[in-house]
Structure 1
Amino acid sequence: MASREFAALASLFADDTRAAFCLALLDGRAWTAGELARHAGVAASTASEHLDRLVAGGVLAEERQGRHRYVRLAGPGVAQLVEDLAAAAAPAAGEPRRSLRAVNTGRALARGRTCYDHLAGRLGIAITDALTERGLLRQDTGFALTDRGVAWFGELGIVLPARGRRPMARGCLDWTERRPHLAGSAGAALCAHALDAGWCVRIGAERAVKVTADGERALYETLGIGPAVLR
């Protein structure tokens, strides 16, 4: 990549409003322009201008349904870039937050959240550690599911996609835990299953998730993760 293209890409994130949009879209869902405008506290016209830049720069993909404009992150690679930038920009440990709302939001995100299409925070790390300890996931030479790991997914009824351009398993640096959690196709499939099966539910407008009572039982029965770790 030439320096000019690199600078152009970096400039897309060098704005508070555009950064807020990208962080919100890490929940993996498509948002309307109006929803993002309200989330960032800007006028609809201002949001539209910023979204045009992000779409033109390849950071976001858009689709229109009637009068609504939906946008999402352009793909897992972009999501990884945004998460890595968030990790680099995370406040130092012990740095005071500015409001009670910020404190509560930060705690919820640290406890459990979606990172584009996989689980992150203490929840994501706990699952990753449990998979590794049980020999279902290897981390010694990069992330890789073992044969036992593939079988474990099948036992839960989770269909893993055929091998493609996206890796089956890879590590994604967790910006709150500062350790890698499971991403890739396997991480996405597990996250989708956790939400569909009611193990986790989304909470608030942010991308935080909360483990339900059913989820606590399922995670203990399948991976031996104690409830205290998830709260």
Structure 2
Amino acid sequence: MKQEIAYITSLIGDPVRTKILWTLLDGRAYTATELAICADTSPQNISMHLGKLIQANLLVAEPQGRHKYYRFSRPEVAYAIEAIGNLIPDEKHRKIVGNTNNAAIKHCRTCYDHLAGEVGVSITAELIQQKFIEPEGKTYLVTEKGSAFFSEFDIDTDELKKSRRIFAKPCLDWTERKPHLAGALGAAFLEKMLLSDYFRKTKDSRAIVITAKGQQQLYDRFKIST
């Protein structure tokens, strides 16, 4: 076990591979050329790093036309990378989140395929407060009241539970250092909010824009002012 952990930490500890993994946290799939630009390295070097990450089953490559697109092999990889951000010492953490350049990311962003940041954490806290979900160990349970709430977004929680993916779990938010909702339920909830035009993704960033409609919904449903 110790050898396996050492192998994984040595892989993700490399500066280039860290940049690759951090870039993929926005939930998109990238070509090798795009990742080389994000990691500020050469196409030849990026191929070597991608090969190692694929061999370790942290990434997968999906051919599409003339290109291959790289993404996380499973959601748990994204959760682990996000969680590492919580190991940043408090003083450095305060400087990072206090930097005005990070304001949009801190406020509302994607964490792979679910919602994070101040807004994601606030929504999760309200879901618990209003007894739509309940913490149970390392997971969340959806109450009968919660099933009715999520059905308003056309989310069938019973169907989601049949997925091989973890249904609902807390993911420790690296900027807020409090949990936000992850798992199949968190992904489905963000997807419906995007389809309803409450949220919009931004180009080349994990930041999420909250529309006027979304601001109204957040206040009406959760008394959250953005």
Tell me the residue number matched to 1:154.
151
Tell me the residue number matched to 1:51.
50
Tell me the residue number matched to 1:108.
104
Secondary structure of the structure 2 residue equivalent to 1:92: helix
The answer on whether the counterparts of 1:24 and 1:206 sit within 8 Å (CA) in structure 2 is: no
Which structure 2 segments of 5+ residues have no match?
A: none
Structure-2 change in CA distance of 1:34 and 1:104 (3 Å): farther
Distance 1:95 1:120 in 2: 18
Structure-2 change in CA distance of 1:168 and 1:202 (3 Å): same
Say whether 1:31 aligns with 2:63: no
CA deviation after TM superposition for structure 1 residue 225, in Å: 2.9
Structure 1 runs (4+) greater than 6 angstroms displaced: none
Tell me the residue number matched to 1:143.
140
Which structure 1 segments of 5+ residues have no match?
A: none
Kindly provide the amino acid, as one letter, of the partner of residue 112 in structure 1.
C
CA deviation after TM superposition for structure 1 residue 83, in Å: 1.1
After TM superposition, the structure 1 stretch with the greater mean CA deviation from structure 2, 109-118 or 85-94, is: 85-94
CA deviation after TM superposition for structure 1 residue 148, in Å: 0.8
Distance 1:168 1:153 in 2: 13
CA deviation after TM superposition for structure 1 residue 94, in Å: 6.7
Could you list the per-position Cα deviations for residues 33-72 of structure 1 after superposition, in whole angstroms to 9, with x for gaps in the alignment? 1111111221111111111111111110111122211000
Give me the TM-score of the superposition, normalised by structure 2.
0.90
Kindly provide the amino acid, as one letter, of the partner of residue 20 in structure 1.
K
Secondary structure of the structure 2 residue equivalent to 1:35: helix
Secondary structure of the structure 2 residue equivalent to 1:63: strand
CA deviation after TM superposition for structure 1 residue 201, in Å: 1.3
Tell me the residue number matched to 2:163.
164
Give me the TM-score of the superposition, normalised by structure 1.
0.88
Distance 1:119 1:172 in 2: 10
Tell me the residue number matched to 1:226.
224
Report the RMSD for the aligned CA atoms in angstroms.
Answer: 2.0
Query: Percent same amino acid at aligned positions?
Result: 36
